[in-house]
Structure 1
Amino acid sequence: MAKSPSRSGGGGPVGGPRSTHSNLKTARGRSNASQRWLSRQLNDPYVKAAQQAGYRSRAAFKLTELNERFKLLKPGQRVVDLGAAPGGWTQVVLRALDERGQVVALDLLPMDGLPGATILQGDFQDDATEAAVLAALGGPADLVLSDMAPNTTGHGPTDHLRIMDLAALALDFAVKVLAPGGGFVAKVFQGGSEKEMLERLRQHFTKVQHAKPPASRKESSELYVVAQGFRP
């Protein structure tokens, strides 16, 4: 998620980015969908704030806001960022931890390096990848993060089930690698079965909540489940 981060940097302007408006100079050769996407990007204050702060994606502000609310990140932690590319969440983690902390960023896609983070390419469901993550951390994780989402189909119920399946797999991974008292954060979509995920999380964690950070677009159905106090 591509500029070099600082471990002591901030997470953006207080109260959220201010909005300005830009118009497309030309729409020639673009589909209606691509025009809408580009217009939204050009006029998204979080996109502009991410560029100014040196974050690789606007999604960095989602984790920043979740951290401000739930106090997820602490110096010296071992943190795993699943589906990390292009690296925005990893940057936020790096800025929050001190030199004792360990950060592993994992994705199926290649990702440019970030000073202070171990970048791994692979499938988190593979035993060899799991072993590589634990070896890089030097022990069990204190926090597992997942901002993963499947490619959307445009069919709401299908997309909901697909992301819930992905979040469930991320939870399976977290249960295997977390230290006692650890935390887990994953993206889900509203649609009903996120309640089943919350019930499952309550079997493993002492505190379970869901949240929609301000940086999530209002029209988006995404939520984040935040689980803390892992019980092995």
Structure 2
Amino acid sequence: MSDDNERRRMVRPPSGGTAAGRGMGQKIKTADKKSLSSQQWIKRQLADKWSEKARAEGWRSRAAFKLIEMDEKLRLIRPGSRVVDLGCAPGGWVQVALKQGASAVVGVDLLPVDPIPGAILIQADFTDPGVDQQLIDALGGGPDLVLSDMAHNTVGHRQTDHLKIIALIEAAAEFAIRTLKPGGSFVTKNFQGGDAGGVLETLRAEFREVKFIKPEASRKGSSEVYLAALGKK
């Protein structure tokens, strides 16, 4: 894992950003007051079948279906599981973990997240000193599952953006390896074609099985893929 603290730091939240902005909170009636790109994002959200299904079923974001599919295939969440969700806004994965029977769920994000009954939600930079221990203390012990859907604000420079992606994966993986109970699992966002650096090799040494999975609910044309490490040794 890299010791470069600067690379490990998560990007600061965009000014005026909210958890709702990453979920279902936007309304098309406000589109005339927004930029063209924002209007296009809102229209895409409202037209997307997964977003529509999320609204109908009460999930906070379409991302809930990504975790539901991964859980069905990999049996990630078991009754009584303790779960940490890194980059949890707007809370869709927290909702899924609770519904699937997790006994304790702690989420952290740079953005504020509306309360979810049964979960502890912390607004903080996960990479700041002491936040990792704060998560474990709130959870009441080591987790059975660490989830990371963390992302960063791209700057448009491919190499820089790549380093930021790797930094988040490294930080999440280091936390998972250090805190997971034996037999526990770790899932993190990655991107197809993106080199996971030394993380993949490290995970293969620490877990029984490591695989990539692309949920159906990931947007078509997106390079998003998830890296799942199962069975902590």
TM range, smaller chain: 0.7 to 0.9
Query: Structure 2: any 5+ residue segments left out of the alignment?
Result: 1-18, 21-27
1:170 paired with 2:177, answer: no
* Structure 1 residues 192 and 57, CA gap change in structure 2 (3 angstroms): closer
* Structure 1 residues 35 and 72, CA gap change in structure 2 (3 angstroms): same
* Structure 1 residues 27 and 128, CA gap change in structure 2 (3 angstroms): closer
C-alpha separation between the residues in 2 aligned to 1:110 and 1:31? 23
- For 1:125, the aligned partner's letter is T
The equivalent residue for 1:62 is 66
The equivalent residue for 2:7 is none
Equivalent position to 1:109, from 105, 108, 111: 111
- For 2:138, the aligned partner's letter is A
- For 1:209, the aligned partner's letter is K
C-alpha separation between the residues in 2 aligned to 1:150 and 1:109? 12
C-alpha separation between the residues in 1 aligned to 2:29 and 2:80? 48
- For 1:111, the aligned partner's letter is V
* Structure 1 residues 201 and 54, CA gap change in structure 2 (3 angstroms): same
The equivalent residue for 1:211 is 213
Equivalent position to 2:84, from 80, 84, 96: 80
1:36 paired with 2:40, answer: yes
- For 2:43, the aligned partner's letter is S
Question: What is the deviation of 1:112?
Answer: 1.2
C-alpha separation between the residues in 2 aligned to 1:135 and 1:28? 45
C-alpha separation between the residues in 1 aligned to 2:30 and 2:112? 32
The equivalent residue for 2:191 is 189
Aligned 8 A contact 1:124 1:173 in 2: no
C-alpha separation between the residues in 2 aligned to 1:156 and 1:65? 30
* Structure 1 residues 62 and 156, CA gap change in structure 2 (3 angstroms): farther
C-alpha separation between the residues in 1 aligned to 2:29 and 2:142? 51
- For 1:61, the aligned partner's letter is F
C-alpha separation between the residues in 2 aligned to 1:121 and 1:31? 28
1:125-177 deviations in Å (ceiling 9; x for gaps) = 34422222112222111000000100123444443332122111111111121
More helix by share: 2
The equivalent residue for 1:200 is 202
The equivalent residue for 1:9 is none
The equivalent residue for 2:140 is 138
- For 1:197, the aligned partner's letter is V
Aligned 8 A contact 2:84 2:146 in 1: yes
Q: TM-score by structure 1 length? A: 0.82
1:89 paired with 2:93, answer: yes
The equivalent residue for 2:15 is none
Question: What is the deviation of 1:219?
Answer: 1.1
Query: Structure 1: any 5+ residue segments left out of the alignment?
Result: 3-23
Aligned 8 A contact 1:164 1:189 in 2: no
C-alpha separation between the residues in 2 aligned to 1:107 and 1:28? 29
Two-structure CA RMSD over aligned residues (Å): 2.2
Question: What is the deviation of 1:28?
Answer: 5.2
Identity %: 52
* Structure 1 residues 30 and 136, CA gap change in structure 2 (3 angstroms): closer
* Structure 1 residues 171 and 26, CA gap change in structure 2 (3 angstroms): closer
Aligned 8 A contact 1:189 1:223 in 2: yes
C-alpha separation between the residues in 1 aligned to 2:83 and 2:34? 40
Aligned 8 A contact 2:146 2:186 in 1: yes
Aligned 8 A contact 1:157 1:191 in 2: no
The equivalent residue for 1:48 is 52
- For 1:64, the aligned partner's letter is I
* Structure 1 residues 156 and 48, CA gap change in structure 2 (3 angstroms): farther
